Amino acid sequence: MTAIMDGPEATKVSDVIVCRDVHKWYGDFEALKGVNLTVEAGEVVVILGPSGSGKSTFIRCMNRLEEHQEGRIIIDGIELTHDVRNISEIRREVGMVFQQFNLFPHLTVMDNITLAPINVRKWSRDRAEELAMKWLTRVGIPEQADKYPGQLSGGQQQRVAIARALTMQPKILLFDEPTSALDPEMISEVLDVMRDLAKAGYTIVAVTHEMGFAREVAQRIIFMDGGQIVEINSPDDFFNNPTHERTKLFLSQILNH
């Protein structure tokens, strides 16, 4: 397994996400304190950590929803700088799924999904709709295409959000607690889809509290605390032989929970 990089020479062509010594401040508060991470193409990485540890902040830095102040982030060979061309190119290649779904309530499911392909990728409507339908079928709700988000259940909405991200044909998928706003029955609907995507070979970075999913699907688990990466490990080692005291404490808390 790939270890934390310690120099630019070590970057391989297959590394689609490279974060080096990333710092992020909210005013005086330092939310990320020098984070390093490299993700290979096709890898599934799950980020765990207590609340407020900087998981969301980190993942949101990867598509510039948050701006990092120090360090470097290189996505698919393009560095995130202040250059808007870079930013928009990276956003095209990185799909994101949010905890709160963030579907556009004024558009139908179909329009939600085809909006970006038509306006950003400049596809014809037919092509966009064809692909959208394919993804809707894959996430299991092709019959909902003409409804508005407000008419769907939470699980259905999150599946639309996933289809929306995927129709853009991204190379990388970011999930920020995609199941946290869902009722228990709906969680599995969404996890099934994510499992499916992992098998299909997508590069995935996911923040989740679903330990079962992490153990089963992830190739690496990243444990964050206080704005730093405390431990990077394979799922087996992470859950069975955690190296750090902090990790042990965290695991004991959630497992006893």
Partner 1 sequence: MAQTTVSPPGSGADIPPPEEQSIGSRVMSYIFDIRFLGVLGQIAFILLLLVGAQRIFSNFGSNVDKLGRAQFICRDGRFAYRCAYDFMDNEAGFDIDDTALDYVNTDSFWWALTNGIVNTFRVGLLALVATTFLGTTMGIARMSDNWLVSRLSLAYIEIIRNTPILVQLLLIYFSVILALPDIKEAVQPFNLPIFLSNRGLIMAWPQFMSSASIWIAFLVLGVIQFQVMWMFLSRREEKTGQESSKFTWGLAGFLIIAAIGWIVSTAVAENEGLLIPNSSRIDEVEDFEKLMLARAGINHLSELAELPQEELDAVTLNVCVLRESSSEANFVNRLASEGIPFKISRNGSPAKAMAKYRDGSCEMFAAPKSVLAAEIATLETPTDHLIVPVKERPLVWSIPRFEKFNIIGGLLLTPEYFALFLGLTIFYAGGLAEVVRAGILSVSKGQTEAARALGLSEGQRLNLIVLPQALRVIIPPLISTYLSLMKDTSLGVAVAFQEVYLVSQTLMNQSGRALQIMIVLMIIYLSISIFFSAILNWYNDRVVIVER
Ligand X SMILES: Nc1ncnc2c1ncn2[C@@H]1O[C@H](COP(=O)(O)OP(=O)(O)OP(=O)(O)O)[C@@H](O)[C@H]1O
Q: Which residues bind ligand X (CB under 6 A)?
A: 26, 29, 31, 49, 51-57
Whole-number Å distance between alpha carbons of 196 and 206: 14
State both tokens at 68.
């990092």
Which of ligand X, partner 1, Mg ion, none sits in contact with 206, Cβ below 5 to 8 A by type?
Answer: none
Burial (Cβ within 10 Å: 0-12, 13-18, ≥19) of residue 68: buried
Q: Does 81 bind partner 1 (CB under 8 A)?
A: no
Whole-number Å distance between alpha carbons of 64 and 70: 13
Q: Does 168 bind partner 1 (CB under 8 A)?
A: yes
Q: Which DSSP string corresponds to 25-89?
A: EETTEEEEEEEEEEEETT-EEEEE--TTSSHHHHHHHTTTSS--SEEEEEETTEE--S-HHHHHH
Residue whose CB is less far from ligand X, 53 or 156? 53
How many amino acids of this chain bind Mg ion (CB under 5 A)? Answer: 1
Task: Tell me which of 91, 159, 220, 246 binds partner 1, using CB under 8 A.
Answer: 91
Q: From the list 7, 27, 150, 184, which residue makes contact with partner 1 (rule: CB under 8 A)? A: 150
CB of 143 to partner 1, least distance (A): 18
Which residues contact Mg ion (rule: CB under 5 A)?
Answer: 56
Which residues contact partner 1 (rule: CB under 8 A)?
Answer: 63-65, 88, 91-92, 94-96, 98, 100, 102-106, 115-116, 119-120, 122-127, 148, 150-151, 161, 164-165, 168
